[in-house]
Structure 1
Amino acid sequence: MNSTFDPFQCLELVKRKHINIIVLHYNLTGRMTNRSSNGMSILNILFIFISIFIILENLFVLTALLRYLHLKRWVYCCLANIAFSDLLAGISYLLNICLSGANTFLLSPELWFVREGLVFTTLAASIFSLLVTAVERYCTMVVITSENHSVKSMRVQGLIILCWILAAVVGFLPLLGWNCMCHIESCSNVLPLYSKKYLLFSLILLAVTLVGITGFYCTIYYLVCTSAKRVVVTNQSKRAFHLLHTVIIILGTFIFCWSPLFVVLLMDTACSPTSCPIPLGLEWVLALALLNSALNPLIYSFRSSEVRKAVLAVLWCVCSKAGVPLPASCRLGTDITSGSSNESSIRKRSSVRLSRALSVRSPLTSISSVPSQ
Structure 2
Amino acid sequence: MAMESSVTNTCNYNSNVTFFYNSVGKKVSVTWTARDFVVIGLGLTVCLIVVLANLMVMVAIFMNRRFHFPIYYLLGNMAAADLFAGIAYANLMLNTGPWTRTLTKEQWYIRGALIDISLTASVANLLAVAVERHQTILTMQLHSTMPKRRVVLLIVCIWAVSIIMGLVPSKFWNCECNLSDCSTVAPLYSRQFLIFWAVLNLLTFFIMVAMYTRIFIYVRYRSQNVSQHTSEIQQRQTVINLMKTISMVLGAFVICWTPGLIILLLDGLLGKDSHANDYEKFCLVIAECNSLVNPIIYSLRDDEMRRTFKRILCCLCWRGVTQQREPPPVEIDSPLTETFSVAFSQETHGCVQKSEDQALCMPQDTNSKEDSWTMPGV
Task: Give the TM-score band, short-chain normalised.
Answer: 0.7 to 0.9
- Given that residues 136 and 144 in structure 2 are in contact (C-alpha distance below 8 angstroms), is that contact kept between their aligned partners in structure 1? no
Q: Which structure is richer in relative contact order (CA contacts within 8 A, separation 6 or more)?
A: 1
User: Superposed, which structure 2 residues align to 1:106-117 within 5 Å?
Assistant: 106-117=102-113
Summarize the alignment of residues 244-263 of structure 1 with structure 2, pairs less than 5 Å apart: 244-263=243-262
Query: Shift of residue 76 of structure 1?
Result: 2.1
| Higher Rg | 2
Work out whether 1:206 is the aligned partner of 2:206.
no
The partner residue of 1:31 within 26, 29, 47 is: 26
What is the match of residue 355 of structure 1?
Answer: none
**Matched residue type, 1:271:** L
- In structure 2, how many angstroms separate the alpha carbons of the residues matched to 1:323 and 1:175? 50
3-state DSSP class of the match of 2:189? coil
Query: Matched residue of 1:99: which SS?
Result: coil
Does the alignment pair 1:125 with 2:121?
Answer: yes
Q: 1:270 is matched with which residue?
A: 269
Deviation at 1:191, TM superposition (A): 0.4
| 1:231 has 2:226 as partner | yes
Task: Report SS of the residue matched to 1:271.
Answer: helix
Q: CA deviation at 1:143?
A: 5.4
Taking the aligned partners of 2:100 and 2:8, their CA distance within structure 1 comes to 24
1:183 and 2:178 matched? yes
Q: Distance in 2 between matches of 1:332 and 1:81?
A: 28
Aligned residues: 324
TM-superposed CA distance for 1:315, in Å, is 1.0
What is the aligned partner in structure 2 of residue 284 from structure 1? 282
* Partner Cα distance (1:130, 1:303) in 2: 18
CA distance 1:29–1:69, change in 2 (3 Å): farther
Report what 1:67 is aligned to.
Answer: 63
Amino acid at match of 1:154: R
Structure 2 gaps, min length 5: 1-5, 325-351, 361-372
Query: In the TM superposition, what whole-angstrom CA distance separates every residue of 1:111-168 from its partner, at most 9, and x where no partner exists?
Result: 21111111011111011001111111211222589x994x533212211111111111
Deviates more, 1:278-287 or 1:180-189: 278-287
User: Judging changes above 3 Å, is the alpha-carbon distance between structure 1 residues 10 and 240 closer, same or farther for their aligned structure 2 residues?
Assistant: same
Question: Could you say if the C-alpha distance between residues 109 and 279 of structure 1 is closer, same or farther in structure 2, counting changes exceeding 3 Å?
Answer: closer
Q: Paired residue for 2:189? A: 194
Taking only the aligned residue pairs, the percentage that are identical comes to 28
Is the CA contact 1:118–1:171 (under 8 Å) kept in the aligned structure 2? yes
Aligned residue number for residue 366 of structure 2 = none
1:8 matched to 2:4? The reply is no
Gaps of 5+ in 1: 1-5, 337-361, 363-367
Q: Does 1:334 align with 2:358?
A: yes
Q: 1:321 to 1:10 in 2, by over 3 A?
A: farther
Alignment match, 1:308: 306
**1:211 offset after TM fit, Å?**
1.9
Query: RMSD of aligned C-alpha atoms?
Result: 2.9
User: Does the CA contact (< 8 Å) of 2:10 and 2:177 recur in 1?
Assistant: yes
Q: Is the 8 A contact 1:31 1:278 kept in 2?
A: no
